[in-house]
Structure 1
Amino acid sequence: MPVKPLSASTLKNLLERIDFARQGEIRSLAPQSSTSIEIRFSVQDIARGYDWIDVMFRIDGVNDAKLVSDNVLRSLDMSEGITVELTPNSAALAIGSYFGRANEALFYILGTSIGYEELPFSA
């Protein structure tokens, strides 16, 4: 299944369905090019009776990011989940609750667009 672009309404529905990835796990971070980054989370899906699934977000047009090394990535606190914001000209993803200020998070990616893909759970 290809990456689906997110709109404001599909983003809201997805984030509510996965409870903003609270208590989820970061599975991987993979730069696809100098301006495209994919990040994969394991999360519980409310619509599937809280079964675990993976959700991969791809941020394109990356113009700013604060990333961490792989050994720190899996230890980031996911108790507050993720912040994902979308405007007509920008997209942001941050670990933690940082609405309106994603660039203050310990980990964030800022770009021009964001899409997602649902994947099987990776144990």
Structure 2
Amino acid sequence: MPVKPLSVSTLKNLLERIDAARHGEIRSLTPLSPTSIEIRFSVQDIARGYDWIDVLFRLEGVSDAKLVSDNVLRGLDMSEGITVEMDTNGCALAIGSYSGRANEAPFYILGTSIGYEELPFSA
């Protein structure tokens, strides 16, 4: 299944379904190009009776990012989940609760568009 673009309404529904990835796990971070980054999370899906699935987010048009090395990535605190925001100026994904201030998070990616793909759980 290819990456599906997110709109404000589909983003809201997705974040509710996965409880904003609270207590999820970061599986991977993959820079695809200087302006395209994928990040994969394992999360519980409320719509599937809290079964675990993976959700991959792809941000395009990346203009700013604060990333961490792989060994730090898996240790990031996911108790607050993720912040994903979209507006006419672009989009943001941050680890933690950073509504309106994603660029203050210890890990964030700012871009022009964001999409997602649901994948099987990676144990």
Same fold (TM over 0.5): yes
TM-score, structure 1 as length reference: 0.99
Structure 2 gaps of 5+ residues are: none
TM-score, structure 2 as length reference: 0.99
Deviations 1:15-40 (A, max 9, x none): 00000000000000000111000000
Q: Partner amino acid for 2:95? A: I
Q: Partner amino acid for 2:90? A: S
Q: What are the within-5 Å matches in structure 2 for residues 63-82 of structure 1?
A: 63-82=63-82
Aligned counterpart, 1:22? 22
How big is the shift at 1:49?
A: 0.1
State percent identity of aligned pairs. 85
Aligned counterpart, 1:86? 86
Q: Partner amino acid for 1:42? A: S
How big is the shift at 1:88?
A: 2.0
Task: Kindly indicate whether the alpha-carbon contact (under 8 Å) linking 1:78 and 1:95 is maintained by their aligned counterparts in 2.
Answer: yes
SS in 2 for 1:31: strand
**Structure 1 residue ranges, 4+ long, deviating more than 4 angstroms after superposition:** none
Q: State the superposition RMSD in angstroms.
A: 0.4
SS in 1 for 2:71: helix
Count of aligned residue pairs for this structure pair: 123
SS in 1 for 2:62: coil
How big is the shift at 1:89?
A: 2.5
